[in-house]
Chain A
Amino acid sequence: MTEPYLAFDGVTKRFGALDVVGQPFDLTIARNDFIVFLGPSGCGKTTLMRMVGGLDTPTGGDIRLEGVPVGGPDHRRGMVFQSYSSFPWLTVAENVLFGMRYRTDLTEQQKRARRDHYLDLVGLYEFSDAYPNKVSGGMRQRVAIARTLAAGSEVLLMDEPFGALDAQRREKLQVELRGIQRRDTKTVVFVTHDVEEAVFLADRVIVFSKRPARLVADIDVTAQLGAERPLELRDSPEFFRLRNGVLKLLREAAGDDE
């Protein structure tokens, strides 16, 4: 039996008296899969993702990356947050370069080359010298994605990264992110409570119950919609059917208390 790429093995989490993940949580994630954690707000899905990043520690069980239990954070597992995702005192290009600040294995020349490559990849090259407050919210999220990729992250951990964007920018970034993930072959763990976003982006959608988080469903989206996700896919009947199915699951998971 081969070791899975990323594995949650009997993970539980308590914050004081609060059970965030009550029952031991098991999940294995294949390399280069796009995984979306979907669940009601405050259900504990973010905590599970943060534990992959080493920003929270499991109370019980462990999380293994290529067989090695994850300890503290490092550059192989990068975070993209919804807000405060880029540093306001650095320009767009400096933000991307900052991603490699603590990489001692790269020369300055290599760092600059990677910076330019990833700025280009997210379409921000011409905004290199702008400060984040001068670009749109969508561009700030692209800065964060480019910075994380430039740092050399193999696993991208994204905490509702498009949550604060308007619908149009959000769609555009979803298409781009899916494209980047396919081309750059990265493993992504993406947290959201938006069903449409989840189905559009994911290879696999993991649906969680309300807190304490429990796995409700594990849906193989790629088996039903394929790996290519053009924008038009959103208008197809298959997409609708799957979206409605997931929405129903989520409603049941959230319960009637809202």
Chain B
Amino acid sequence: MSEAPPTGIAGKSAPAPRQPSRRTSLWAFRGALTRRTQAAVGFGTSMLLLLVWEAAARAGLVNATFLPSPVAVLNAMLLMVQKQNLLWHAGVSTLRVWTAFALAAAMAVPVGILMSSYRVVGAALEPIIDFIRYLPVPALVPLSIIWFGVGESTKLYLLWLGTFFQLVLLVADDMRRVPQEYVEIAYTLGARTPQVLRDVAFRAMLPGLVDNLRITLGWCWTYLIIAEIVAADSGIGFVIWTARRYMKTPEVMAGVVVIGIIGLVTDQLLRAAHRRAFRYL
């Protein structure tokens, strides 16, 4: 570090050859990192951010009404678990997400596969799906309340709306990317079309499909909060919205953090399951 960086114009003086060291290996352009290092760096950065935040709050640099300290948020969360049934609300929200998501996936997977397997299905559905896909879900809230009232079905409908149309195109794309060679090998082994679909094309697309399901599940949470803010008396969205009304910022943030934690844990579990199931990749 004591060496002055080369200041000459390119061509005048060659830069001194770099000494290989631990430092450069961490910063190698497009270099690899071990799993453990990655986890440590990720954890360290998060902790650092929390520390800075906590310090800023304690030093009075920020107004606690707007940005309460992490410790205050944590305290609020514990209190909410004891007094406000926070875990029950989290459970309700999770159940809503998974129900709507399962419904969307159960419909999107076959439709998406058909769209790529038969060009005529794709040609028929693509314009409609593309149109609806670009409609912002919040814009459809009034319509869905007129159709479904303010009960559970409105929330499921909104979540389904937000995921189905995205997912169906992703599934179609997964199917489209299955190498034609796999399909043709199966045919020359005497398979018929349904067998090719089931035994080869579906198996070939499965890793990509599971990945896309995982990503889409995350989007579901975005729409959940919208649905629960508009019309609900339960769920994390409801908890956040109620706390906001009384300017209880720590509680609002606690609700947000709970969503973040659920998302992080689900995502990591699904990633681990993916690695286990598709060891051959």
Tell me whether B187 is interfacial, beta carbon within 8 Å: yes
Measured CB to CB, the residues of B under 8 A from A are 179, 181-182, 184-185, 187-192, 195, 199-200, 203-204, 206, 278-281
A-B contact pairs, 15 of them (CB 8 A): A53-B188, A54-B188, A55-B184, A55-B187, A55-B188, A73-B187, A83-B181, A87-B185, A87-B200, A87-B204, A101-B199, A102-B189, A102-B190, A133-B280, A151-B190
Across the interface, which residues of B come within 8 angstroms of A84, CB to CB? 179, 181-182
Query: What is the CA–CA distance of A131 and B182 in the complex, to the nearest angstrom?
Result: 16
Query: What is the CA–CA distance of A79 and B199 in the complex, to the nearest angstrom?
Result: 18
Tell me whether A74 is interfacial, beta carbon within 8 Å: yes
The answer to whether B203 and A73 have CB atoms under 8 Å apart is no
Query: What is the CA–CA distance of A101 and B188 in the complex, to the nearest angstrom?
Result: 12
Chain A at the B interface: mostly helix, strand, loop or mixed?
loop
Q: List the A residue with the shortest CB-CB distance to B278.
A: A89
Chain B at the A interface: mostly helix, strand, loop or mixed?
helix
The answer to whether A73 and B184 have CB atoms under 8 Å apart is yes
Across the interface, which residues of B come within 8 angstroms of A54, CB to CB? 187-188
A residues 73-118 in Cβ contact with B at 8 Å: 73-75, 77-79, 81, 83-85, 87-89, 98-99, 101-103
The answer to whether A102 and B188 have CB atoms under 8 Å apart is no
The answer to whether A74 and B280 have CB atoms under 8 Å apart is no
Measured CB to CB, the residues of A under 8 A from B are 53-55, 72-75, 77-79, 81, 83-85, 87-89, 98-99, 101-103, 131-133, 144, 147-148, 151, 153, 157
**Would A74 and B190 be within 8 Å (CB), given that A85-B181, A131-B279, A133-B281 are in contact?**
yes
The answer to whether B203 and A89 have CB atoms under 8 Å apart is yes
> Whole-angstrom distance from the CB of B181 to the nearest CB of chain A?
4
The 8 closest A-B pairs by CB, nearest first: A84-B181, A102-B190, A75-B190, A131-B280, A84-B179, A73-B187, A73-B188, A81-B181
Q: List the B residue with the shortest CB-CB distance to A86.
A: B185
